[in-house]
Structure 1
Amino acid sequence: MIKKSLVPLALGGFGIGMTEFVMMGILPDIATGLQISIPEAGYLITAYALGVVVGAPTLVSLFAHRPPRSVLVLFMLMFTVFNAMSAFAPNFHVMMLSRFLAGLPHGAFFGVGAVVASRLADPGKVAAAMATMFAGLTVANVIGVPIGTWLGHSVNWRLVFLIVAAIGAATVFTLRQLVPHIEAKQPTGLLQDLRIFKSAGLWLALAITSIGTGGFFAWFSYITPLLTDVTQFKSTTIPMIMTVVGVGMTVGVLVGGRLADRFHPLPAILILLASMTALLLCNGLLATSQPVMLVLAFATGANALALGPPIQMLLIDHSREAEMLGSSLGQSGFNIGNATGAFLGGIPLTLGYSYASPQWVAAALALSGVGLAMWMLARHRAQLRAA
Structure 2
Amino acid sequence: MRPAVYSLMSVVFSLTTGEFVIAGILPEVAEGLSVSVSTAGTLVTAYAVGMIVGGPVVTVLTARVARKPLVAGLVVFAVLANLGSAIAPNYPVLLAMRAAAGLVVATFFAVAIATAVATAEAGREAAAVARVALGMNLGIVLGTPIGAVIGQSLGWRATFVAVALSAAIALPLVIRFMPEQPGAVDGSVLGELRVFGDREVWWAIALTALGNIGVVTVFTFIAPLLTDISGFATSTVPVLLLVYGVGAIIGNQVGGRLADRALLPSVAGLLAALACALLLFWLIGGDRTGAAVLTFVIGALAFAIIPGMQTRVVAAAAVAPTLAVAVNASGFQLAAACAGRLGGEVIGDGSGLRSIPLAGAVLTVAGATLAVWLAWRERTRGAAPARAVENR
Shorter chain as denominator, the TM-score bin is 0.7 to 0.9
Instruction: State the Cα deviation string for residues 145-192 of structure 1 (Å, max 9, x = none).
Output: 233344556665554333222222222232123324333355132332
Structure 1 gaps of 5+ residues are: none
Matching residue of 1:329: 327
1:315 aligns with 2:313: yes
Matching residue of 1:362: 360
When residues 158 and 3 of structure 1 are mapped into structure 2, their CA distance, relative to the original with a 3 A threshold, is: same
Q: How big is the shift at 1:329?
A: 3.0
CA contact (8 A) 2:279 2:358 kept: yes
Instruction: State the Cα deviation string for residues 40-78 of structure 1 (Å, max 9, x = none).
Output: 666544433332222222212211211111111111122
Matching residue of 2:337: 339
Q: How big is the shift at 1:30?
A: 5.9
Matching residue of 1:15: 14
1:282 aligns with 2:280: yes
What are the equivalent positions in structure 2 for 1:17-166 lying under 5 Å apart?
17-23=16-22, 35-36=35-36, 43-87=42-86, 94-151=93-150, 156-166=155-165
Matching residue of 2:388: none
CA distance in 2, matches of 1:372, 1:97: 38
CA distance in 2, matches of 1:132, 1:82: 26
CA distance in 2, matches of 1:305, 1:128: 13
Matching residue of 2:298: 300
1:173 aligns with 2:175: no
CA distance in 1, matches of 2:250, 2:94: 33
CA distance in 1, matches of 2:356, 2:90: 27
When residues 275 and 99 of structure 1 are mapped into structure 2, their CA distance, relative to the original with a 3 A threshold, is: farther
CA distance in 2, matches of 1:343, 1:99: 22
When residues 32 and 167 of structure 1 are mapped into structure 2, their CA distance, relative to the original with a 3 A threshold, is: same
Give SS of 1:183's match.
coil
Backbone CA RMSD of aligned residues: 3.0
Matching residue of 1:269: 267
Q: How big is the shift at 1:318?
A: 1.3
What are the equivalent positions in structure 2 for 1:179-328 lying under 5 Å apart?
179-184=178-183, 187-263=186-262, 265-328=263-326
CA distance in 2, matches of 1:158, 1:275: 41
Q: How big is the shift at 1:15?
A: 1.3
Q: Percent identity?
A: 34
CA contact (8 A) 1:114 1:130 kept: yes
The total of aligned residue pairs comes to 382
Give SS of 1:170's match.
helix
CA distance in 2, matches of 1:162, 1:232: 37
Matching residue of 2:387: none
Instruction: Name the amino acid aligned to 2:112.
Output: G
Instruction: Name the amino acid aligned to 1:288.
Output: G
- TM-score for both structures, normalised by structure 2: 0.85
Instruction: Name the amino acid aligned to 2:258.
Output: L
1:377 aligns with 2:375: yes
Structure 2 gaps of 5+ residues are: 384-392
CA contact (8 A) 2:256 2:307 kept: yes
Instruction: State the Cα deviation string for residues 183-209 of structure 1 (Å, max 9, x = none).
Output: 335513233211111122211211121
CA distance in 1, matches of 2:233, 2:153: 14
Q: How big is the shift at 1:266?
A: 1.8
CA contact (8 A) 2:63 2:185 kept: no
- TM-score for both structures, normalised by structure 1: 0.86
Instruction: Name the amino acid aligned to 1:234.
Output: A
CA distance in 2, matches of 1:370, 1:330: 18
CA distance in 2, matches of 1:100, 1:358: 29
Q: How big is the shift at 1:244?
A: 1.3
CA contact (8 A) 1:276 1:300 kept: yes
